[in-house]
Structure 1
Amino acid sequence: MVATTSTTLANGLTFEQNLTVPQPRLWSPETPVLYTASSKLYAGKALKDAYKTTFGIRSFKFEKGTGFSLNGQVRKFKGVCNHHDLGPLGAAINTAALRRQLTLLKDLGCDAIRTSHNMPAPELVALCDEMGLMLMVESFDEWKAPKVKNGYSQYFDEWAEKDLVNMVHHYRNNASVIMWSIGNEVPDQSNANGPIIAKRLQDIVHREDPTRPVTMGLDRFDDDFKYGIAGVLDIPGFNYKPHRYAEALAKLPQGFLLGSETASTVSSREVYKFPVVKAKQQQYSDNQSSSYDLEACSWSQTPDEEFAAQDDTPNVMGEFVWTGFDYLGEPTPYDEKWPSHSSYFGILDLAGMPKDRYYLYRARWNTAKPTLHILPHWTWPGREGQTTPVFAYTNYPSAELFVNGKSQGRQTKGPSDQPQSRYRLMWNDVKYAPGSIKVVAYDAQGKAAATEEVRTAGAPHHIKLVADRTALMADGKDLAFITARVEDAQGNLCPDATQSLSFAVSGTGSFRAIANGDATNLESFQKPQMRAFQGQLVAIVQAGGKAGAMQVKASGTGLQAGSVTLQTKAR
């Protein structure tokens, strides 16, 4: 398909657009096909300006009785909320770091992002277009009623329409943008002006972009229906209300709803607490949260509770989990306990390393690839003979656990009054004995399909470096993320290793930043050394401006050094 249009403007200039779409194909998360429109401005025959617009072709609907469909296929959002910071790199945008985040989310099976709670960086939206992630682009965290003394409420009357129009104009040509959000947990839900403001903002969005619906994150369920704001929105979005989805659907004229912010489960990577119990606002003396994924906040839930509500309630169109990655600030449940200074909510930690929860979501969301993950680690000196539950996160229907070769029985996922029993396999009465735990997963036909084994680690012996990429662009900007693992002589991760690791970078690159995922760690992100947390950390290196080889070496007291070589290549 080839189209050319030419328009003579009132000032005598000529505006020309050229569009070439060979064999048009639809954009979707699975096939993010993009095209380019070329626009040129002429004065006579002299070219004065030129601009290229990237776009995709797709259709979607939100329908009563059906929910959300993209290109004619009904689907649920498998989304995450993300803050804007990039962990140890800070808030300044970095395209390479964003690409890594999106790559990890795609492997998770995530297909959508909510920009919480602000207009996104253009680089993020362009990457979502390219890589195939749908976007809920969000505007405000505050309307007229203030949350804090110096918040946006003092500017709302003068700036709300200007800012909203700017946001919509900037991103309305992006294929990844599926819906607009006009607010998050605004206190105006609880007064009669709330629905009036919501309708005004929604009308502005419809005026500027009639092709996409409007939503927001509602967290005051009773007031949302008492004052009527839930009925105003194109898409009613509810934060942390899975237990009231059925009640909401019975009242909503739209006939569907969205989990606009869900879960807020808290955990620290590879940290496990005993006894293993479901808890809210649980605190420990080390300011960590258990990675058994059973701890949440006073207002929030475990992933399984949201899964069950999504599965049991028709016309719930999916969810946006709080959050994809840990971020700087909001260290709930340790908001008032120093030195905690980054969140515990992430499916991945501040360094971008997956927590156990990553595999619980992956087992549900990534249907194209097998998932089998077992927890906890199996290095527990002093716990011999004590109850140490073992969980498996898998998209296979059943699995059998072996402790030092002895079967602990087979578990099968299925209907249950307890949500956890529907989505994870649990052996709650296992007694710890050094050696190994092995899980064998079985497919629907009962055949062994996958195996995972974790062994008790010996003394820390060496550092192993694993780079997410071995070839970088020699543009002075590209990044590689290198995971450093403290291992024993047999290559087992040492989960209790806390040695300080130092990095040296030579050749065609330089050290950029470092993080270990510990929300209590106060070591500098900018210095090339940091202690390992649960045996691991991530160092970030940056390509220089010349092609060649970059060598990265890590050393630590009493450990054999590790090294890796990366190549930087000219465009």
Structure 2
Amino acid sequence: MLKSNFNQNWKFVKGCIPSLMTLKMYGKEADDISLPHDAMIHETPCETTKNGGATGFYPGGIYTYFKTFVAPEEWKDKTVTLEFEGVYEKAMVYLNGALITTNSYGYSNFYASLDRYLQYGQENELKVVADNSAEQNSRWYTGSGIYRNVNLFVGELIQIPVDGVHATTINVEKDFAVVEFVTTVVNQTRKKEKLQVQIEMSDEDGNVIRGVTHLTAFGNSENQIRQEIVIKNPKLWNCDTPHLYKCQVSIFSEKKVWDTNEFLYGIRRITLDSVYGLRINGESVKLRGTCVHHDNGILGAATYREAEYRKCKLLKQAGFNSVRSAHHPAAKDFLDACDKYGILVMDELCDMWTIHKNDHDYAFSFLNEWKNIVDKMIQKDYNHPSVIMYSIGNEIQEVGTERGAEINRTICNYIKEKDRTRYTTNGINGLNAAGAKMYPIMQDLAPLFKKDAENSETNDSSGSNAINSFMQLMEGEVGDAFAKHPLMTEVLQESCEAMDIIGLNYLTGRHLLDTELYPNKCVLGTETFPADIARLWSVVKKSNQVLGDFTWSGYDYLGEAGCGIFYYDEKTNFGSYFPDRLAYIGDIDLTGYRRPISYLREIVYGMRKEPYIAVERVDRSGMKHSKTPWMLKDNIASWTWEGYEGKSAMVDVYSADEEVELFINGKSLGKKPAGEKVGYVSTFECKYEPGEVTAISYNQGKESSSCQLKTAGTARGVKVDVSQEVMIKGTEELVFIQLSLVDKDGLEVLTEEKEIKVVAEGNVQILAVGNADPQTTTSYDSHCWKTYHGKLLLVAKAGELLGESVIHIVMDDNIIKDVSIKVIDSESSF
């Protein structure tokens, strides 16, 4: 079918409106927008919203989208279908006043046939109502409205349906590979037709491989055609060299070409066993993974292609080779980006089954809908080489019960019926799964709790202490004892046996135990503490059965506000404190800046040789703050602390070498052990004095490498990092402009705060501006922002006119930088 973009020329109204004609009756005016569009990010955060910190205090609502278009007369003998890649939360789609479809799961793509109610040769009114008014329905920021792409498919009556081609690599040898194509061909005419189905695969060098199969398609029939294509000396897809072939599947007769389906495909074979673990094309791979939510930071949940590609590129540069889509099916654009950059994907079904985590979540519908959302997820994912496994749930509360084990087994088996090429797992959290067994487990662990309390610096009964007691069950000696408890083994047994990979959230103590209990299975840390990476990776390296680790989280996100904020005012994490907006828990912050823990992780992975210096905030030296296992330290890579000369400074050096030595202005503070034996972190206490701090690492007494921080001066300008300088008019193409404060010598200034105003001149629209401050009160629609850690991000989009445009960067009432963007023309589709 002919696919075209349907994102342009929509109208948007807050509330549920019958039609465009009745707008004035409701006292409303429609906004002209293009998709994708997140209505929630344009709302004003509200302290009283029931969503609270879960969505960063953004409220929900009901929103109506309209689009008018003329259906050409030639469509009369064709099929016309719309694909909605994502509408949150509940969607109702109308054409010319008639309801044509609904969708209740906001993360699934769905299709709407327009054929029955189309008016040919005249104007049609399409209406979509997006209802996200039921608060709360999620534990994180969801966005609202049509936040992903809408695509139009126009097809002949003899056609390949949408998602009608499945490609599978069935063999990979040293000098050849075999790919099987299963193509569905539908003949909706009453006549028999003699057809040919042709496969073309072309690599990056233009080499083409073809195969043709003949088909007699009787009237009103549906046929499946299986074809094998042999590729000699194939370019294989893996994390390091993610080669992609362009595949074109065509059906034609003597009279015409009826349909063509095109997609990119990576040739790769994945295998899993308890001897070698996970292998891609015969090579063992450890999963250096992260969990990621679906929002795009200052853009909200709007799924722009460039935003998804940028996110994946930054994750790959930070050392990750795999992602878990938490906790819902990933967007198509995100999977395309993972294919391109060689990032492996665990695509996840949902966050709950039959027991609510929020009053209005999907638990009410799950039993009736799970097959539908599984089918949609598999159809979406099937041709993506990046997708290697499906997670059927996250921290499901009933998974440790007999009924939960039955549901777990049923879903795993159903997935295997639909897709034999990938593996199943489930992110099991012991605190959720223990259920009625929790009380006897706690009784057995009481002596360990008492021991920890005696060793604790405080012994109060405050909320903070209660939170810390809860966290003890997920870390340290108590956490390991909890994870390994025989009753925990008992409640998890049946569910663990049903899935291909035993997925464990915050149960590190079980990883090696489960390799003994289930010698034929592999184990995976599906969600783990970022601050525990050194210990976690040592466990991963001990056994081939332990496949890897997925940290929470590699990229900061909206909602779940405050779980990683360092509170210095006696607040506790996982509360709901306005105006907290971000989780503040990512290796990479909301602007794309890598925080120190990201470099520690890269060193632990063995991917960075040079040491790295991180300084605990000197302006908060000695102050007590909140702390959870998700938080490492409140530190940044800065040796600029004006006004704090002589104050105590804690300097961490991250290194994989045997020893590190720290110098301040050339004076040595001595050597300390480094590397795996000390968790890759060596800490030096000193007095802050401006100048230079240098770390040198040693192996066998010989200098290995070094790292240095210098004191910066006053911020005088900005360094600009532009993702691209040319855009195509009228598209969803974006340019990301990252600003960093610098002094007169070009040194970055992380500890100074400056207000920056962004002014667009010409044919460029500023979509969003923002920083990584987790407690900001400024709207991302504002063009005037303060820097945070010296950084600011702005995102712009091309308009409808050609030519040069300029974005002025204004600081201290002066234009300090101009960013030029060129808008060019290109052929556009409907």
What TM-score results when the alignment is normalised by the length of structure 2? 0.60
Residue number among 539, 547, 550 corresponding to 1:317 in the alignment: 547
**Does the Cα contact within 8 Å between 2:399 and 2:408 map onto a contact in 1?**
no
Structure 2 partner of 1:433: 689
Per the TM alignment, residue 381 of structure 1 is displaced from its structure 2 partner at its CA by 3.8
Within the alignment, does 1:156 sit opposite 2:417 as a pair?
no
Residue number among 361, 373, 386 corresponding to 2:612 in the alignment: 373
Per the TM alignment, residue 112 of structure 1 is displaced from its structure 2 partner at its CA by 0.9
**Does the Cα contact within 8 Å between 1:260 and 1:319 map onto a contact in 2?**
yes
Secondary structure of 1:170 counterpart: helix
Per the TM alignment, residue 244 of structure 1 is displaced from its structure 2 partner at its CA by 2.8
1:198-217 deviation digits (Å, cap 9, x = unpaired) = 11001100000111110110
Within the alignment, does 1:226 sit opposite 2:459 as a pair?
no
Structure 2 partner of 1:236: 502
Secondary structure of 2:679 counterpart: helix
Provide the C-alpha distance between the structure 1 equivalents of 2:348 and 2:693, rounded to a whole number of angstroms: 45
Residue number among 519, 527, 543 corresponding to 2:798 in the alignment: 543
Residue number among 34, 45, 52 corresponding to 2:262 in the alignment: 52
- Using a 3 Å threshold, how does the CA distance of structure 1 residues 415 and 539 change in structure 2: closer, same or farther? closer
- Using a 3 Å threshold, how does the CA distance of structure 1 residues 495 and 234 change in structure 2: closer, same or farther? same
Structure 1 partner of 2:335: 125
Equivalent position amino acid for 2:761 in 1: S
- Using a 3 Å threshold, how does the CA distance of structure 1 residues 171 and 344 change in structure 2: closer, same or farther? same
Structure 1 partner of 2:582: 342
- Using a 3 Å threshold, how does the CA distance of structure 1 residues 557 and 205 change in structure 2: closer, same or farther? same
Structure 2 partner of 1:478: 733
Secondary structure of 2:399 counterpart: helix
Structure 1 partner of 2:311: 101
- Using a 3 Å threshold, how does the CA distance of structure 1 residues 543 and 443 change in structure 2: closer, same or farther? farther
- Using a 3 Å threshold, how does the CA distance of structure 1 residues 90 and 366 change in structure 2: closer, same or farther? farther
Per the TM alignment, residue 466 of structure 1 is displaced from its structure 2 partner at its CA by 2.8
Per the TM alignment, residue 4 of structure 1 is displaced from its structure 2 partner at its CA by 1.9
Trace 1:395-544 onto structure 2 (pairs within 5 A).
Answer: 398-416=659-677, 421-424=678-681, 426-442=682-698, 446-449=702-705, 451-474=706-729, 476-544=731-799
- Using a 3 Å threshold, how does the CA distance of structure 1 residues 12 and 328 change in structure 2: closer, same or farther? closer
Equivalent position amino acid for 1:343 in 2: A
**Does the Cα contact within 8 Å between 1:7 and 1:15 map onto a contact in 2?**
no
Provide the C-alpha distance between the structure 1 equivalents of 2:228 and 2:523, rounded to a whole number of angstroms: 40
Provide the C-alpha distance between the structure 2 equivalents of 1:188 and 1:253, rounded to a whole number of angstroms: 25
Per the TM alignment, residue 313 of structure 1 is displaced from its structure 2 partner at its CA by 5.0
Within the alignment, does 1:252 sit opposite 2:518 as a pair?
yes
**Does the Cα contact within 8 Å between 2:535 and 2:679 map onto a contact in 1?**
no
Provide the C-alpha distance between the structure 2 equivalents of 1:546 and 1:441, rounded to a whole number of angstroms: 55
Per the TM alignment, residue 20 of structure 1 is displaced from its structure 2 partner at its CA by 8.5
Taking only the aligned residue pairs, the percentage that are identical comes to 26
Residue number among 649, 658, 664 corresponding to 1:388 in the alignment: 649
Equivalent position amino acid for 1:234 in 2: D
Equivalent position amino acid for 1:555 in 2: V
Structure 2 partner of 1:185: 395
**Does the Cα contact within 8 Å between 1:334 and 1:340 map onto a contact in 2?**
no
- Using a 3 Å threshold, how does the CA distance of structure 1 residues 22 and 139 change in structure 2: closer, same or farther? same
Per the TM alignment, residue 334 of structure 1 is displaced from its structure 2 partner at its CA by 5.0
Structure 2 partner of 1:561: 816
Structure 2 partner of 1:3: 211
Secondary structure of 2:510 counterpart: helix
- Using a 3 Å threshold, how does the CA distance of structure 1 residues 30 and 354 change in structure 2: closer, same or farther? same
Structure 2 partner of 1:291: none
Provide the C-alpha distance between the structure 2 equivalents of 1:105 and 1:509, rounded to a whole number of angstroms: 28
Equivalent position amino acid for 2:579 in 1: P
Within the alignment, does 1:360 sit opposite 2:600 as a pair?
yes
Provide the C-alpha distance between the structure 2 equivalents of 1:387 and 1:447, rounded to a whole number of angstroms: 28
- Using a 3 Å threshold, how does the CA distance of structure 1 residues 379 and 37 change in structure 2: closer, same or farther? closer
Provide the C-alpha distance between the structure 2 equivalents of 1:7 and 1:357, rounded to a whole number of angstroms: 58
Provide the C-alpha distance between the structure 1 equivalents of 2:224 and 2:355, rounded to a whole number of angstroms: 45
The number of residues matched between the two structures is 528
Structure 2 partner of 1:271: none
1:134-158 deviation digits (Å, cap 9, x = unpaired) = 1111102111222222222211221
Secondary structure of 1:189 counterpart: coil
Provide the C-alpha distance between the structure 1 equivalents of 2:745 and 2:350, rounded to a whole number of angstroms: 52
1:87-116 deviation digits (Å, cap 9, x = unpaired) = 110112100111111111111121111111
Structure 1 partner of 2:457: none
Trace 1:273-284 onto structure 2 (pairs within 5 A).
Answer: none
Provide the C-alpha distance between the structure 1 equivalents of 2:654 and 2:304, rounded to a whole number of angstroms: 33
Per the TM alignment, residue 240 of structure 1 is displaced from its structure 2 partner at its CA by 1.2
Gaps of 5+ in 2: 1-208, 431-482, 564-572, 616-637
- Using a 3 Å threshold, how does the CA distance of structure 1 residues 567 and 412 change in structure 2: closer, same or farther? farther
Per the TM alignment, residue 467 of structure 1 is displaced from its structure 2 partner at its CA by 2.3
Equivalent position amino acid for 1:99 in 2: Y
Greater Rg over alpha carbons, structure: 2
Provide the C-alpha distance between the structure 2 equivalents of 1:189 and 1:330, rounded to a whole number of angstroms: 23
Secondary structure of 1:429 counterpart: strand
**Does the Cα contact within 8 Å between 1:225 and 1:231 map onto a contact in 2?**
no
**Does the Cα contact within 8 Å between 1:261 and 1:322 map onto a contact in 2?**
yes
- Using a 3 Å threshold, how does the CA distance of structure 1 residues 445 and 34 change in structure 2: closer, same or farther? farther
Secondary structure of 1:187 counterpart: coil
Per the TM alignment, residue 7 of structure 1 is displaced from its structure 2 partner at its CA by 2.4
Structure 1 partner of 2:351: 141
* RMSD across aligned positions (CA): 2.7
Provide the C-alpha distance between the structure 2 equivalents of 1:219 and 1:93, rounded to a whole number of angstroms: 29
**Does the Cα contact within 8 Å between 1:12 and 1:43 map onto a contact in 2?**
no
